[in-house]
Copies of this chain bind each other. A is one copy, B any other.
Amino acid sequence: MDEKRLKELIKEKRYVTIKKELEKMNPVDVAELLESLDVQTALLIFRTLPKDLAVEVFAHFSVEQQRELVSLVTDKELKHIVDELYFDDMIDILEEVPANVVKKILLNAKEEERNLINQFLRYPPESAGSIMTIEYVDLKKNMTVKEALEHIKETGLDKETVYTCYVTDANRKLEGIVSLRKLVISDEDLLIEDIMERDVIYVHTHDDQETVARVFKRYGFLALPVVDNEGRLIGIITVDDIMEVIDQEATEDFQKMAAMSPTEEKYLEANVFSLAKHRVIWLLVLMISATFTGGIIRKFENLLQSAVVLTAFIPMLMDTGGNAGSQSSTLVIRGIALGEIAPKDTGKVVLKELVISIIVGVILAVVNFFRIYLFDNVGFLISFTVSITLFVTVVISKVIGGILPMIAKKLNIDPAIMAGPLITTIVDALSLIVYFSIASCLLNI
């Protein structure tokens, strides 16, 4: 069913048909369809959905839609949604909706759940604790495979995943894991402790979500247990939530490298003041640091006065230097983010950038020399000055572009913030100094 058909069916008031068709669809698609309707009609259709589907659809609504629906549904309906939502979805929603909606939701939760919610809301943002869920399958090591499978049959429907089951002792300490695959292919009289894996890879509640994502990618897991400082199992993280984290972390790096303070807000949903705030600070910092570049030019005013033509090549030199530096810093920053480049590789990176910059620098300088000598009519000396400067600038830019993120990493500063926007400013200043020094020297001014 698409938007057009849905609207036609609504016009003809064929709600039974609508319900039947929506039931067959994936909740993600149903949520998207209902978002295209006005909120009253959406609520009307939403109420016809089978309860289980309704909860799943609710979880996939946009924050905006969730907020409006929560304000419209009855307390009884809300209570059902709150009871049936997966815990991590509920936490996500509570973190995004306004305070009055949070209050309405909490009022409709059971007391023990309310306590748990408050505990979860206290985990630092972007920590393992803030993205985990509590609906996992809990087994005991003295169960048989048959008992375990029966346990899953009884409780599995409400679990976020049943494909990895967690074996805990009486104190909730994590003792092992066993996959549903292993359970299904094992003899049913075996004990869980005979088939479980004991060397479990886990994360801590306060680990950063980036660390968690790296563990998932390294091992290809479907789920990962989260334990507290005493090794007690607190929750699990499933791979579907990790895909979002991977995107989020890349987006953050894009933002930082383009001189913005990172935000999770979606572009179209964010308001202009918030967007402006995230941009203006870095622009101010970089603008003021460009004073330095201006100062260099003013110091060489006499030189420029006697050879104004030199000015014409400033943008080309600065831009090429900036581009060359960004290429290097981008590759290195990304390599660090993906765990492919470690601090111990600094020597290799610098050497590599040096060799690359010499190759690239020679090509650019030669092309540039002939281009301006033949077409710009500025004479041999100027062409030569500009081309030598270009070569030196490319080499300096690339080496700095490679080394700066490595230094940042060693100092435990975020390489994307430290190296992204700063490269251009540093390279600008250096390329001007090189340019004017070479010019003074070669042109005898």
Contacts and interface: CB of A to CB of B under 8 A. Distances in A.
Interface of A: 24-26, 28, 149, 152-153, 156-157, 162-163, 180-181, 184-185, 198-199, 201, 216-222, 239-240, 242-244, 246-247, 250-251, 253-255, 257-260, 266-268, 272-273, 275-276, 279-280, 282-284, 286-288, 290-291, 293-295, 297-298, 301, 304-305, 308-309, 311-316, 318-320, 322-324, 326-327, 329-332, 334-335, 338, 340-341, 345, 348-349, 352, 355-356, 359-360, 363-364, 367-368, 371, 376, 390, 394, 421, 424-425, 428, 432
B199 A24 contact: yes
Contact of A246 (B24, B243, B258): B243
B28 A219 contact: yes
A131 to B, nearest CB: 13
Contact of A327 (B247, B260, B335): B260
Contact of A316 (B242, B293, B352, B367): B293
Nearest to A368: B287
Contacts of A276: 356, 359-360
Contacts of A222: 163, 222, 239
A1 to B, nearest CB: 11
Contacts of A199: 24-26
Contacts of A220: 240, 243
A184 B201 contact: no
Contact of A314 (B221, B314, B368): B314
One complex includes copies of this chain to the number of 2
Q: Tell me if A's interface is mostly helix, strand, loop or mixed.
A: helix
Contacts of A320: 283, 286-287, 290
Contacts of A338: 247, 251
Nearest to A246: B246
A11 B323 CA distance: 50
Contacts of A259: 323, 326-327
Contacts of A267: 331-332, 334-335, 340-341, 349, 352
Given A243-B246, A348-B268, A313 B335 contact: no
Contacts of A368: 287
A344 B283 CA distance: 29
B201 A26 contact: yes
A232 to B, nearest CB: 22
A283 B324 contact: yes
Interface pairs A-B: 10 shortest CB-CB: A220-B240, A258-B330, A290-B316, A250-B250, A293-B315, A294-B312, A276-B359, A297-B312, A267-B335, A272-B355
A347 to B, nearest CB: 11
Contacts of A324: 279, 283
